[in-house]
Every structure is written in structure tokens, then in C-alpha cells.
Amino acid sequence: MTFSYQQLFTFAEQVFLSIGCPPDDATLATETLLSADLRGVDSHGVARLSGYVRLWEAGRINATPRVGITYETPSTAVVDGDGGLGLVVGPKAMRIAMRKAEQVGTGWVSVKNSNHFGIAGYHAMLALAQDMIGVAMTNASPLVAPTYSLERLLGTNPIAVAVPAGEQPDFVLDMATTTAANGKLEIAQRKNLPIPEGWAQDAEGRPSTDANTVKNGGALQPLGGATGSHKGYGLGAVVDIFSAVLSGANYGPWVPPFVAFLQPSANPVGQGLGHFFGAMRVDAFRPADEFKAHMDNWITTFREAKAVEGQRVLIPGDPERAMAAHRLLDGLPLLEAVVKDLETVGAKFGVKL
């Protein structure tokens, strides 16, 4: 089933208003959430709306947070999200990093006491309009087994980096540090499909193609698969440390789960979930126009590289950019299971899809 962007925007915004979000926060949360659907990251978009509502119902999301700085220097800050929606806390913290970059060249912000913040790329891309390089990371529910582990100690812990260009489209890398994000398993579950080998392991550490294997005690595998998972493990660990050990959020196995039916740790080591944001003013390194001209050259060189038959070399951000243009015109497709879930959520608040 296909819905227009505006139809889904109005619906989601009304739901966020219904749980008590102030109007500006409801609009910001909706924009952040639907950026995932627009860019084709369906696992992190409106399909997650009911999950946020359930967390609010469980008292684990504060709809009216007072997001504030608890510690800062001219170029750094720790932000307390006050238990708010990560969809709101994230953009506000990123803008703090950008303000610091305006003043001193770079800004770095680590966040505690937040929740799931949608796609990392949205936050990193906020910097592009000001000729800044944006960086965004977050830790997440512990669903990932480090190399050789049977225990789930890390999240999918994504990294996003957005770099402005001139005539060419901007460079936007947005990737999980696992072979696949958990949302892709959720999509496979809804479609009753197996998952590729290398995405997950069962409770005994054996490779599994069952989309329900993580639900049944297994774990996601770090990026790199059978021979290189130590690299994904290392990247995920860095995200966890920057996002949480640095800020005072929960890290490792103590990160609170996104699903409301699982309770947070009874002995937390920090506050909520953690994020990390960076903004670098390009002209703090070299003239922005000069840099962007060379970025155009870089992008063109890679895009025009000789490719294997039937393929072409893409730049990070190309598929998502094409998807956004297509979906703004033709609408956003939702699986039947997602539509039913949204209708159930809407019925709670008298909001019609």
C-alpha cells in the first residue's frame, strides 16, 4: 500500500502530539522519523512509530524533555536528553555541535539520557547546509555478539558522515557496524523470508538464516562476517565508547532495549541511551569553495571508474537520494503488517491514517 509523504507526516505528527509532545517537537520528531522512509530505510521509519508509543506508555519516554548542556568547553559538550525522544534530542544536540563549530571551527557533543534517534544520516546531514562535515553515531539495544562471543554485548551502533560537495550531490555515508541492521530482520519477518547467511548467529553461535533467530536467543553478527567480524566489532565498540562511556549513558549490555516488553537493566551504569555528534566547518581547514570543487572531482573520479559488466560505481548516498526523489513523487510504500500496526496506534488516539 502506498501513501503520500504528507499523509504519513500528518498522521505521525498527530500521534506525537497525542502523546504530549509540544508542537515544535512533534514536527521535528516526524521529520526525523520519515526521513528514513524517504531514503528507503524502511526499518527505521514510520514502521517504528508504534515502538515509540509503547515506550511512552511504559513511562520510558518523556514527551516534554528539557534538553540541556551539563558540561562544556568551547568545542565540546555533554547533553542530557532528559529521557526525551531521540528523534528530538538528536537534532537538538547536533545543532549544539554546529553552533560550536561556527564559533571555533569544530564542535563535538556526546549525549546521555536519550532514546532511539532514527537514522544516523538525518542528523549528520543537518551540517551540510552550513558547509560543514557532519558526524553522527549512536549506541543501541544489545543484540550483537562480539567476535567469538555467545553473549549480546553491543548494538548495531551506526556511523554516519555527511560531506558537502559543489556541483555533485553530497557524500552521505550511513551504515550500521553489523552486517545488517535489526530492522532488516524485522522486514524479513513481516515478509516471512529467510535472511542471508552472515547476518546473524543462533544461541550456540552457529550461522543462521532464520529471521527470528535473534528473537530466539541468537545475535546479530558484526560487519565483516566469518573472516572479518573483528573489524565490525571494533567499529561498534568505538561508537559505544564515544556515545556512552564519554557522556555517562548506558553502554554495552546495559543499553536499554527499544522494545517496551523488555525491561531496562535493574543495575544501570548510566542514563538512557547515548549518541555522539560532530560538526566540522570546512573553511576551518581550507576555503569551502576550493574543498567542494575537489570533492566534485573526487566524486566524479569514483563515479566514472570502470565497473564490472552490468554495474556502476556508486557514491555513498546515491541510492538513498534516488529513492527520496522517487518516493516524494510516487509515495511511500508500506507493508500490510505496518499499515495495520499504524491503524491500531491511530485508533488509540483517534487519529486516522
Residues whose CB is less than 8 angstroms from the CB of residue 45 and which lie 6 or more positions away in sequence, other chains included = 33, 34, 35, 36, 37, 38, 118, 332
Distance between alpha carbon 265 and the CA centroid of its chain, in Å?
22
Task: For residue 184, name the pLDDT band (cuts at 50, 70, 90).
Answer: confident
Quick one: what percent of the chain has pLDDT higher than 90? Answer: 93
What is the pLDDT, as a whole number, of residue 38? 97
Quick one: what percent of the chain has pLDDT higher than 70? Answer: 100
Mean pLDDT of the chain: 96
Question: 178 and 223 in contact (C-beta within 8 Å)?
Answer: yes
Torsion of CA 66, 7, 46, 170, to 10 degrees: -80
* Weakest mean pLDDT among 53-67, 98-112, 142-156, 179-193: 179-193
Phi, psi at residue 157, to the nearest 5°? Answer: 35, 70
The number of CA neighbours under 13 Å toward the Cβ of 205 is 8
What is the pLDDT, as a whole number, of residue 10? 98
Q: What is the pTM of this model?
A: 0.95
Question: 283 and 293 in contact (C-beta within 8 Å)?
Answer: no
Cell 528539557 sits on residue: 66
Question: 270 and 255 in contact (C-beta within 8 Å)?
Answer: no
Rounded average pLDDT over 173-197: 90
Residues whose CB is less than 8 angstroms from the CB of residue 171 and which lie 6 or more positions away in sequence, other chains included = 161, 162, 163, 165, 295, 299, 315, 316, 317
CA dihedral for 89, 142, 317, 195, sign (positive or negative)? negative
* pLDDT digits 0-9 by tens, 317-328: 999 999 999 999
Task: For residue 236, name the pLDDT band (cuts at 50, 70, 90).
Answer: very high
* pLDDT digits 0-9 by tens, 247-265: 999 999 999 999 888 899 9
Task: For residue 245, name the pLDDT band (cuts at 50, 70, 90).
Answer: very high
